[in-house]
Every structure is written in C-alpha cells, then in structure tokens.
Amino acid sequence: MVMATTRSQAKARKRRVRFADEPADQAEIRHDEDGPQDTSDENSLGKQQCRKIQDQESEPSVEDIDPVTVQGERRRRIAQAQDEELRWSNLKAVLREEMEKLGYRATKDALKLADKFALTDDSVLHYLGTSHQNSAKQQDEILLRLVVPTRMTQKVLQNCHDSLESGHQGVV
C-alpha cells in the first residue's frame, strides 16, 4: 500500500488536535527553538507557564485542524460506541472470525446478519445496502451505510437537520 503525504499533512501531523470532550492532559511545555534555556531560572518558568495557559485558552484556527486527524478520531469514536452495544460487538466479533468468545446463541444470531454487514480496517461497521436506481446497466450498486450507534443517533439527526446542506435548517 502506497501512501502519499502532502506538505500540509506532514506539517499538521506535528500538531495535536484536542477535542472538546477529551480530558485535558497535562499540556506540553514548549521550549523556544532559539537555544537551550536554564529551567532553574524563575523568569523562564514563568514564561513557560504563561505559554501553557495561552495554549489551553487559545481557539483553534482552520490551519490548526487537520481534516484527516478529525476524521480518524470520529471513526475511532464511532467504532468505540459500536463496541459498547452488545448487538454490534457480537456482529463485529463474527465478522472478525472471533466466534469462540461468544456463546452459541449470540453466535447464531450474529451469523444470521453477518452477510448484510461489512467491517472496515479501522473496525467501523457498515450495512451493505443496494441502490435500485434504473440505469442503462440495470445492476444494483452496493452502498456502504454507516451503522450509527444508539447513543449517537440523536446527535447525527440533529447535525443532519441543522446543517446548511439539509432542506430546512431547523425551520419547520
């Protein structure tokens, strides 16, 4: 597999995107690249603490946010939420061929649905839907439809209805 990285993606990898619901870890204290500093000096510690506070309070700009990182984090959170629901975690185990971890009944129920679902490399579950549009080829097109976990359903509906691409932008 060949991966190409643009300059902006390589530059963005150095940055850390912090999400709103992510617990604030200890922020890294950045040192100036001008040269080594004496950390025993009270003045330099004060500057470092000020920089740490400014980094925590500053709003991210468009340049600070890497879309690839955000998309990866979203997919990770969706996969984690799918794993929290028993129905989807059992189905994922069957699709990974880890059926020995499941009981007989759970395996049997998951096997009934397994041919209608697909699991991506990053462990996100998708439903294999078909498009029955009349075309010259008269072939059904397979579409991957994201399996939205129950706890995320309300948020997805709200985002779809309130977005600019939706039909009514929250106006009934």
- Of the ranges 30-34, 60-64, 148-152, the best mean pLDDT one: 148-152
% of residues, the chain, pLDDT over 90: 29
Q: Flag whether 50 is in a domain.
A: no
pLDDT tens column, 29-51 = 333 344 444 444 555 555 555 55
Q: Flag whether 27 is in a domain.
A: no
Rounded to the nearest integer, the mean pLDDT of the chain is: 73
pLDDT tens column, 68-127 = 888 888 899 999 999 999 999 999 999 999 888 889 999 999 999 999 999 999 999 999
Looking at residue 34, its pLDDT comes to 41
| pTM for the model | 0.57
Q: Flag whether 41 is in a domain.
A: no
Q: Which residue has the higher pLDDT, 129 or 31?
A: 129
Q: Flag whether 4 is in a domain.
A: no
CA atoms of 6 and 52, how far apart (whole Å): 29
Q: Flag whether 57 is in a domain.
A: no
Q: Which residues are within 8 A (CB) of 27 and not within 5 positions of it... i.e. 6 or more apart?
A: 52, 55, 56
Taking the CA atoms of residue 75, residue 79, residue 80 and residue 84 in that order, the dihedral angle to the nearest 10 degrees is 150
Q: Flag whether 84 is in a domain.
A: yes
Looking at residue 20, its pLDDT comes to 63
As for how many domains the chain has, the answer is 1
Instruction: Give residue 100's domain range.
Output: 67-162
Q: Flag whether 40 is in a domain.
A: no
Question: Angle at Cα 119 formed by Cα 114 and Cα 121, nearest 5°?
Answer: 155
Q: Which residue has the higher pLDDT, 40 or 157?
A: 157
Q: Which residues are within 8 A (CB) of 142 and not within 5 positions of it... i.e. 6 or more apart?
A: 128, 129, 130, 131
Q: Flag whether 21 is in a domain.
A: no
